[in-house]
């Protein structure tokens, strides 16, 4: 079995094993087995990181096996500079979530942990799939465990939120399936994604394909105006579900634009770039303003995720290397920062059982160690230099200025809105005198919570201070993609 298959199936195997364990009477053993499974999944990615060769746009660690002969579907895996970093990122976030959920989940612990481990493997499969149908199976497969995580362990309106999440993402994906079947016929009965990239297509066909893929990926990112499912889902999801949703699942949509929309329909992508840029700027500016007026901390961070992901799609459709590399860097950085923000809210919720900003105040007086972490995460969320949140946003802003000064100015305004909603929330929750008796009774973070937050802090600072390993890996693949998009494929 190849390394990519190990990265996919190791957490899935441990997840299936957990399902056969008792529900709550063996909770301690379940948690340790889940942690071992998550750690095993992360350790498998170390040889990938050691063996990946930067400076080439070729697919690496390729595996190809026959799956369904009658319709030429292959179990075809590989990673390039665009997809590589999302494999260890997914495995890392899974470890973080398992540890963070150690005490907060007390019912059906084996099913909860199993859902996350299976979800981890399926999401890695999305980033590795080089066969269109295999990609679709993995892409849709992510819905099932996340639907269960929200619907079983979520808040008071969990069924509504889970149903909304499932419907929005499934309906968009159905159009993608139709597009894939069209490409299968055009390619002479092949689901090979690389062969789809080489197809000469008419302007009309490219436009139809572009919007079919847009329907699937824009909902997943999510882009404005199809973002309305995200705040509801984040509010109702358990803390671990929110962390994985923001850190990894939103990236599946952005990744889809790079792997499908841009290389398969380059002429349509250039023609409709103005629309993508406009929607991205609305997300960056308008949704950032919406975040400022939120009273629920989770909802505020959910809207901020839409704004930050707006930078990603903006960078992709400016069509220069700085913007596209910045968009990928922003995806990775947002994975760390958004997980840190949601897990910080989880720390507060575990103690007070409220996400309302008004129910806090003066947390620094009772939780000084935790407040130090929360301050760093808030700074990273608004793009402070030296943190991961700065790297991708700054690259995209520079790329936007290079393309058009006013476009760059509009994008840069997001730094103001980001600082406004992040620091205003921090001020109201953490600073000032103790707000009430609940805050006065709060205990500072223990060793387990400190360890989780310290790991995320290390990742955020490491990428913020030295992003070169990320950009070195992405540069060659980004250059190849831009070269491909620049050439017309009209037949």
Rounded (10°) angle between helices 109-128 and 143-153 = 150
Residue 491 — very low, low, confident or very high, per pLDDT cuts 50/70/90?
A: low
For residue 276, being part of any structural domain is answered with yes
- What pLDDT is attached to residue 158? 84
Q: Which of 150, 168, 169 is nearest to 234 (CA)?
A: 150
Mean pLDDT on 463-489: 87
Contact residues for 252 (Cβ-Cβ < 8 A; gap 6+): 123, 126, 139, 142, 217, 220
What distance lies between CA 411 and its chain's CA centroid?
A: 21
Rounded (10°) angle between helices 109-128 and 3-19 = 160
DSSP state of 23: S
Mean pLDDT on 66-73: 84
For residue 67, being part of any structural domain is answered with yes
Q: Does the pLDDT at position 67 exceed 70?
A: yes
Mean pLDDT on 133-143: 92
Higher pLDDT, 145 or 187: 145
For residue 463, being part of any structural domain is answered with yes
Partnered with residue 24 across adjacent β-strands are: none
For residue 211, being part of any structural domain is answered with yes
Q: Among 231-235, 251-255, 272-276, 324-328, where is mean pLDDT lowest?
A: 231-235
For residue 334, being part of any structural domain is answered with yes
Domain range enclosing 266: 3-486
Mean pLDDT on 193-216: 89
Six token digits for residue 44: 């498998």
Q: Coil, strand, or helix at residue 81? A: coil
Q: Would residue 362 be called left, alpha or beta, if left means φ above 0 and alpha means ψ between -120 and 50 degrees?
A: left
Residue 244 has phi, psi (to 5 degrees) of -70, -40
For residue 201, being part of any structural domain is answered with yes
Q: pTM of the prediction?
A: 0.91
For residue 302, being part of any structural domain is answered with yes
Query: CA–CA separation, 92 vs 86, rounded Å?
Result: 10
- What pLDDT is attached to residue 463? 92
Q: Does the pLDDT at position 98 exceed 80?
A: yes
Q: Count CB neighbours of 441 within 10 A.
A: 11
Query: CA–CA separation, 144 vs 183, rounded Å?
Result: 26
Which residue blocks in 265-320 are alpha helix, DSSP H? 266-271, 273-292, 297-316
- What pLDDT is attached to residue 23? 65
Largest CA distance in the chain: 71
Instruction: State pLDDT tens for residues 421-447.
Output: 888 889 989 888 887 888 888 888 889
Residue 202 has phi, psi (to 5 degrees) of -70, 165
Mean pLDDT on 389-396: 90
Contact residues for 418 (Cβ-Cβ < 8 A; gap 6+): 288, 304, 307, 308, 381, 382, 383
Mean pLDDT on 459-488: 88
Q: Does the pLDDT at position 106 exceed 80?
A: no
For residue 491, being part of any structural domain is answered with no
- What pLDDT is attached to residue 488? 65
Q: Does the pLDDT at position 336 exceed 60?
A: yes
Instruction: State pLDDT tens for residues 291-320.
Output: 888 888 888 998 888 888 888 999 999 988
Cβ atoms of 291 and 421 within 8 Å: the answer is yes
What distance lies between CA 191 and its chain's CA centroid?
A: 25
pLDDT over 70 for what percent of the chain?
A: 98
Instruction: State pLDDT tens for residues 144-179.
Output: 999 889 988 888 888 888 888 888 888 888 889 999
**What burial class does residue 200 get, using C-beta atoms within 10 Å of its C-beta: 0-12 exposed, 13-18 middle, 19+ buried?**
exposed
Q: Count CB neighbours of 326 within 10 A.
A: 31
Mean pLDDT on 203-208: 90
Q: Does the pLDDT at position 39 exceed 90?
A: yes
Q: Does the pLDDT at position 193 exceed 70?
A: yes
Characterize the bridge pairing of strands 60-68 and 73-79.
Answer: antiparallel
Per-position DSSP letters for 231-250, written without gaps between them: HHHHHHS-HHHHHHIIIIIH
- What pLDDT is attached to residue 24? 62
Six token digits for residue 489: 């494929």
Six token digits for residue 245: 């949703």
DSSP state of 259: I
Q: Does the pLDDT at position 73 exceed 90?
A: no
Query: Which stretch of DSSP H or E encloses residue 107?
Result: none
Cβ atoms of 308 and 259 within 8 Å: the answer is no
- What pLDDT is attached to residue 22? 67
Q: What is the mean pLDDT of the chain?
A: 88
Six token digits for residue 203: 């302007």
Q: Domain count for the chain, please give it.
A: 1
């Amino acid at each position: 079995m190849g390394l990519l298959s190990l990265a996919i199936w190791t957490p899935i195997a441990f997840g299936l094993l957990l399902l056969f364990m008792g529900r709550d009477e063996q909770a301690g053993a379940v948690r340790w087995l889940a942690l071992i499974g998550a750690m095993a999944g992360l350790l498998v990615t170390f040889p990938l990181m050691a063996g990946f060769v930067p400076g080439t746009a070729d697919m690496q660690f390729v595996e190809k096996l026959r799956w369904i002969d009658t319709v030429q579907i292959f179990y075809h895996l590989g990673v390039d500079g665009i997809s590589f970093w999302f494999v260890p990122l997914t495995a890392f976030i899974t470890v973080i979530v398992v540890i963070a959920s150690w005490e907060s989940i007390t019912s059906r612990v084996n099913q909860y942990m199993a859902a996350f481990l299976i979800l981890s493997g399926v999401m890695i499969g999305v980033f590795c799939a080089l066969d269109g149908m295999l990609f679709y199976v993995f892409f849709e497969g992510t819905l099932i465990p996340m639907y269960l995580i929200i619907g079983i362990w979520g808040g008071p309106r969990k069924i509504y939120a889970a149903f909304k999440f499932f419907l929005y993402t499934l309906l968009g994906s159905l159009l993608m399936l139709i597009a894939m079947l069209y490409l299968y016929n055009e390619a002479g009965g092949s689901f090979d994604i690389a062969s789809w990239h080489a197809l000469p297509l008419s302007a009309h066909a490219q436009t139809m394909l572009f919007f079919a893929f847009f329907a699937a990926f824009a909902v997943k990112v999510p882009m404005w105006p199809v973002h309305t499912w995200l705040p509801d889902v984040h509010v109702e999801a358990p803390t671990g579900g929110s962390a994985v949703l923001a850190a990894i699942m939103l990236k599946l949509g952005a990744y889809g634009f790079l792997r499908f929309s841009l290389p398969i329909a380059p002429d349509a992508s250039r023609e409709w770039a103005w629309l993508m840029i406009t929607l991205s700027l609305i997300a960056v500016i308008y949704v950032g303003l919406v975040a400022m007026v939120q009273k629920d901390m989770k909802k505020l961070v959910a809207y901020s995720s839409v704004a930050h992901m707006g930078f990603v799609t903006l960078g992709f459709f400016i069509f220069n290397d700085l913007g596209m590399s910045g968009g990928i860097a922003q995806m990775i950085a947002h994975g760390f920062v958004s997980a840190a923000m949601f897990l910080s809210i989880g720390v507060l919720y575990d103690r007070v059982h409220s996400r309302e900003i008004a129910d806090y105040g003066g947390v620094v007086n009772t939780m000084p160690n935790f407040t130090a972490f929360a301050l760093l995460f808030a700074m990273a969320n608004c793009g402070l230099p030296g943190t991961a949140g700065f790297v991708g946003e700054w690259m995209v802003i520079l790329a936007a200025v290079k393309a058009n000064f006013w476009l760059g100015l509009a994008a840069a305004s997001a730094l103001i809105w980001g600082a406004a909603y992040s620091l205003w929330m921090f001020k109201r929750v953490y600073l000032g005198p103790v707000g009430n008796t609940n805050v006065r009774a709060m205990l500072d973070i223990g060793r387990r919570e400190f360890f989780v937050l310290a790991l995320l802090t290390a990742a955020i600072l490491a990428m913020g201070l030295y992003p070169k390993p990320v950009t070195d890996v992405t540069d060659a693949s980004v250059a190849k993609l831009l070269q491909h998009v620049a050439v017309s494929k009209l037949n």
